[in-house]
Amino acid sequence: MRSVARVVVVVVVVVLLLAVTGSGASPLHVRVSPQATHRQRLQAARALLKESPLIDGHNDLAWNARMFLHNKLHSFNLSSDLTQQKPWMNSPFSHTDLPRLKKGHVAAQFWSVYVPCESQYLNTVQLLLEQIDVVKRMIAGSHKDTVLVRSPAEIMKEFERGRVASLMGMEGGHGLASSMGVVRAVYDLGVRYITLTHKCHTPWAECSETGPHPPNTRGLTPYGQELIREMNRVGLMVDVSHASASTARDVLTISRAPVIFSHSAARALCDIERNVPDDILSSLAENGGIVMVSFYNDFLTCSQAASIQDVVAHINHVRTMAGVDYVGLGAGYDGVNRTPKGLENVSRYPELFAELLRDPTWSLQDLKKLAGLNLLRVFTRVEQVREELVSEKPSEEIIPIHDIDTRWPCRYKFASLDHART
Ligand SMILES: *[C@@H]1O[C@H](CO)[C@@H](O)[C@H](O)[C@H]1NC(C)=O
Ligand SMILES: *[C@@H]1O[C@H](CO)[C@@H](O)[C@H](O)[C@H]1NC(C)=O
């Protein structure tokens, strides 16, 4: 009897100890004091990110695979330390590998499948498919550490398993070749958001760069609006980072699902077209969307230098103007060559949370929202809208011929169709 009692006592003590020391799953009840040391705040930040997922909206590693390796992955290993390997070790554009993602407590990463504007009206769809392919092969090569997921539920499943959830976001609506069929196909391939423009206007949406303007594009054209409706219907998140403010306003007006900015900063703090103006931030809550704050120095301070405090300032500005439910993280690592002091690579996210813990107005729950819960809410709502629209028919709209004809001479022309629409 006595030895049974002793076993019971030992078991109870072990269970209690596990609960207190937190071997992964213990709830954080008490917020660390804002006056705590850096070490204590960093420890609290790590505990927070173990408990609740961190989701980053944008990483350009896959384009570096194109530029550095021509998409040849035979000697590439995302699970290895890329700081020890050429050409990654020498590149100011390289900030990412799985060891650092894990150190950074990144639960889910949207990998950008990007195609350059120079390919618009050329082989852009081929380049897009090759980027989707290279992301899938990169992930398959590291299946013990990461796996491609397609839903909020799968993000949470992988978070609980301890693997990084990989997702794909397509950057540059020109990659759609203005085709509803391509929208549906990229969803089927696993893409979960589309950035409507990169640095060029498409025939149906205006980008944030100034430059030669096609006549029809101030904001979204009617065909652009139809594309948004189709993206809502299939369950693709609409991303308006890189789009002009007029395009973003048009999208916010017509989208039936929340809209994202996958990697943008606040225009009030750095006045460039690429950043989000205050009127859009103020109206974001109505749509239920999210601004995922970019860590690119040039967007943060309008100069080449920036620090972790500048990222905090942008996050706080979005929180003030939009609300704490509408802010997230979209660092943009591997797509930029200047990152803030303190946030040099993907291993550094806990430093950001340690910094935010100095501010008593950030509660633990709000920090979890910033880290990933807000994006999960948006993604979940986008899936619900897809369910709600299940009886809607796929769009069969074709872009008006006069919107592309002179700009896209080298395409197969269906004589009767073009004739009918001229
Ligand atoms: C990739 O790197 C990891 C970590 O060094 C190693 O465990 C794994 O075996 C490597 N994979 C291949 C295919 O070499
Ligand atoms: C990541 O950034 C930190 C801070 O600058 C630096 O100490 C560390 O060496 C970097 N890690 C890698 C692997 O690049």
pLDDT tens digits for range 5-62: 554 444 444 444 444 444 444 456 789 999 999 999 999 999 999 999 999 999 999 9
Q: Can you give the pLDDT at residue 6?
A: 56
pLDDT tens digit string along 119-144?
999 999 999 999 999 999 999 999 99
Domain limits of the chain? 2-407
Percent of the chain with pLDDT over 90: 88
8 A C-beta contact, residue 342 and residue 351: yes
Pick the ligand that lies closest to the CA of residue 80: 1
Q: What is the mean pLDDT of residues 176-192?
A: 98
Q: Give the CATH class of 2-407.
A: alpha beta
pLDDT of residue 359: 98
Q: What is the pLDDT of residue 123?
A: 97
Q: Ligand 2, residue 95: give the atom nearest the CA.
A: 14
Return the half-sphere exposure (C-beta side, CA atoms, 13 A cut-off) of residue 270: 23
- Matching residue, tokens 């306003």: 249
What confidence score (pLDDT) does residue 213 get? 65
Closest CA to 127 of 78, 186, 74: 186
What is the best residue among 345, 346, 351 to mutate for testing ligand 2's pocket, by most ligand atoms within 8 Å of CB?
A: 345
Give residue 346 CA to ligand 2 midpoint distance, Å: 9
Q: What does the pLDDT read at residue 168?
A: 99
Is the pTM here over 0.85, yes or no?
A: yes
pLDDT interval class at 218 (50, 70, 90): confident
Q: Which ligand is nearest to the CA of 97?
A: 2
* Mean pLDDT value across residues 288-297: 98
Residue 79 CB–ligand 1 contact under 6 Å: yes
Q: Would you call 387 helix, strand, or coil by DSSP?
A: helix
Stronger pLDDT, 289 or 22, i.e. the higher one: 289
Q: Is the CB of 77 inside a 6 Å radius of any atom of ligand 1?
A: yes
DSSP state of 82: G
Cα 202 to ligand 1 centre (Å): 41
Report angle CA 222, 327, 300 to the nearest 5 degrees: 90
Determine how many CB atoms are found less than 10 A away from the CB of residue 160: 12
Q: What is the average per-residue pLDDT within 307-319?
A: 98
Tell me how far the alpha carbon of residue 137 lies from the centroid of ligand 1, in angstroms.
14
The SS3 call for residue 260 is strand
What does pLDDT average to over the chain?
A: 93
Residue 95's pLDDT band (boundaries 50, 70, 90)? very high
- The pLDDT score that the predictor gives to residue 19 is 43
Going by C-alpha positions, the residue among 229, 196, 192, 248 that lies closest to residue 375 is: 192
Cα-to-centroid distance, 348 and ligand 1 (Å): 23
